[in-house]
Structure 1
Amino acid sequence: MQKLLNSPWENLTDPVIAIIEDSDEDFYSFWRATQKLNLLERLTYNFLRFEDGDEALEYLLRQGEYQDLNAAFPVAILLDLNLPNTDGREVIRTVKQTPILQIIPIIVLTTSNSLQDIQTCYQYGANCYMLKPMGVSEMQQTVQILFQHWFQFTVLPSYGQFTT
Structure 2
Amino acid sequence: MSDESSKSEVDILLVEDNPGDVRLTQEAFKNGQIYNSLHVVNDGVEALDYLYQRGDYEDAPSPDLVLLDLNLPRMNGDEVLEEINADPELARIPVIVLTSSGAEEDVVQSYDLQANAYLTKPVDPVEFIEVVQSFKTFWLSVVRLPPGDEQR
Same fold (TM over 0.5): yes
TM-score by length of 2: 0.88
Residue 162 of structure 1 deviates from its aligned partner by: 5.2
Residue 93 of structure 1 deviates from its aligned partner by: 0.8
Map of 2:30 onto structure 1: 35
Is 1:101 the counterpart of 2:90? The answer is: yes
- 1:67-146 aligned at under 5 Å gives the runs 69-70=58-59, 72-146=61-135
Map of 1:62 onto structure 2: 53
Which whole-Å CA distance do the structure 2 matches of 1:84 and 1:120 have between them? 18
- The C-alpha deviation readout for 1:12-45, integer Å capped at 9, x for no partner, is x94310000000011101111111115xxxx631
Residue 163 of structure 1 deviates from its aligned partner by: 2.3
Gaps of 5+ in 2: 1-7
Pick the aligned partner of 2:44 from 34, 38, 53.
Answer: 53
Map of 2:151 onto structure 1: 163
Which whole-Å CA distance do the structure 2 matches of 1:156 and 1:27 have between them? 23
- The C-alpha deviation readout for 1:106-125, integer Å capped at 9, x for no partner, is 00010111111111110111
Tell me which amino acid in the other structure corresponds to 1:76.
L
Q: Find the residue that maps to 1:47 and give its secondary structure.
A: strand
TM-score by length of 1: 0.82
| TM superposition outliers: structure 1 runs of 4+ over 6 Å | none
Number of residues of Structure 1 aligned to a counterpart in Structure 2: 145
Which whole-Å CA distance do the structure 1 matches of 2:40 and 2:28 have between them? 15
Which whole-Å CA distance do the structure 1 matches of 2:124 and 2:112 have between them? 30
Gaps of 5+ in 1: 1-12
**C-alpha contact (below 8 Å) 1:20/1:77 kept by paired residues:** yes
- The C-alpha deviation readout for 1:69-119, integer Å capped at 9, x for no partner, is 355410000010000000001111110111111000000010111111111
Tell me which amino acid in the other structure corresponds to 1:20.
V
What value does the CA root-mean-square deviation take over the aligned residues? 1.7
